Structure 1
Amino acid sequence: MSAFRIRRPVRPVRPVRPVRPGRLAAEAATLLVAAAVAFPLYWMVLSAFKPAGEIQSTRPRPWTLSPSLDSFRRVFEQQEFGRYFLNSLTVAVSVVLASAVIAFLAATAVTRFRFRLRTTLLVMFLVAQMVPVEALTIPLFFLMRDVGQLNTLGSLILPHIAFSLPFAIWMLRGFVKAVPEALEEQAMIDGASRARFLWQILFPLVLPGLVATSVFSFISTWNDFLFAKSFLISDTSQSTLPMALLVFFKPDENDWGGIMAGSTVMTIPVLVFFVLVQRRLVSGLGGAVKD
């Protein structure tokens, strides 16, 4: 018997493409911009671990050789810190869930149905998005007072839902429009009701867009200080984490270590939420750009 040798196919050698100077310049500029954006976050975390002597030093250094947890200890030893954290989480989760459901239904309505003043309604969404939040603080204060929501978490939830909806509706409108109407017609032929098509077929298809809008709603609500300062005037039991940072601002000397440690603690839930939804967030933003 003759022995046969099995020859492996020879892979073609790909030519090495020369690196373009323009691409190198673009990558270098991207790295510089990323470093400039990340440096304040790095300095915040570094200051949270620095001892008091290094924070108040006239010669600040971008490192520390003696990290300390004293600043975090002062933050967690603050009275009712857990209540502040729970209040912020309650407000943020309520805004995210409510705005996602309402925006999904509204985006479906303005995309699938034809009715009078539909274009006017869409323009009103844009106008509402352009109005500065600071200009509406005083009218919202009187509105919350008249409906009896001052010093309650409802005075934070309702305005944030209202300000999150225009952006969410406009963004989800593109996702709903991308779903072909033939899919809805086929579902109707197969016996699916409109409600079943809405929640079992359309909702999963636009879920990446919902995640993307939820991230922006969560961040803006979690970091809110203006409304918390305006509507939660006297009841400290209803305060949120941004209001808790005011404890470290003192008339004689600010506790910068406590401020940076508290800010670091506030940043952790946002990072965790972002990591959990990052895959759907990328696909959601990509779909929005494509639309």
Structure 2
Amino acid sequence: MCCLPTCVELKGKKSQLEEQIRKAKDKKERMTGPQEKLRAELKQKRHEVLFQLKHQGEETQAIESEIYSSGCKLRTVYDENKRFEEGIKALNAEIEDISYQMEHNAKLKLSLLIELEHTKSQLEKTWDDDQETQKRFGARDQEVVEGLGALLERTVRREETISHVTSQLEVELQYLTAFLDNLASRRPKDSYMSNCRTPTPDSRDGRRPGSRDSRLSGLSRASSRSQALADLGDNSPSRPPTSKSNRSGRSVVIAEEITEIDHETRTLTKSPTKRV
């Protein structure tokens, strides 16, 4: 009876065990709470570290890009600086050349101004001489024009006179033709004068002579016929006789007028017109 545990002892052990279990659970719970908190903190710290690493990577990349861009800019600055130095050297050489050209141009300008003044004075003198020459030759040309006008008027008057004399000579030629025809009709047919019968004006051309050469040839023919009539010694019954002195006088007057006109024309054309 004494060896067997009693119900009270068993209940006491049960209560102790339950209390130990509760304490173990409480301890477990107390130990589980900080672990979860630590896990949450660890997760949060991990996210923060990852964010910081990502941000630092972006910053590093930006810094590297900036360093590369700055390096490129620095290289460009070096190149531009070198180009500027070369340009400055070229400009300095050009400035020296321009300075030399300016000095040379100043000397040349001075010499040209002196030459201009000399040429201007010569031009003014030559201009005055030319104006005087223009006036002198203008007066001479006016005299030549007036002389040509007077010569033209005289030529027209003499042309009218020659036309009048020519018409009279044509009338005389008609009378001479009629006289020769009448003379030839009175002679025997086998005589010399009948064989040398002069044709009438209608049988020659039927036209009046229009040029000076034809008129002169008519005058020569008239003189020949007058000489033949003088040799024959006959008088014309159809018109009043014309003396040999009158016919030769008219021919001489016409020849003198033609010679005088030709001489005056040559004198006017040979007058000096060259300017000094």
* Larger proportion of helix: 2
If the length of structure 2 is used for normalisation, what is the TM-score?
0.22
If the length of structure 1 is used for normalisation, what is the TM-score?
0.21
- Rg larger in 1 or in 2? 2
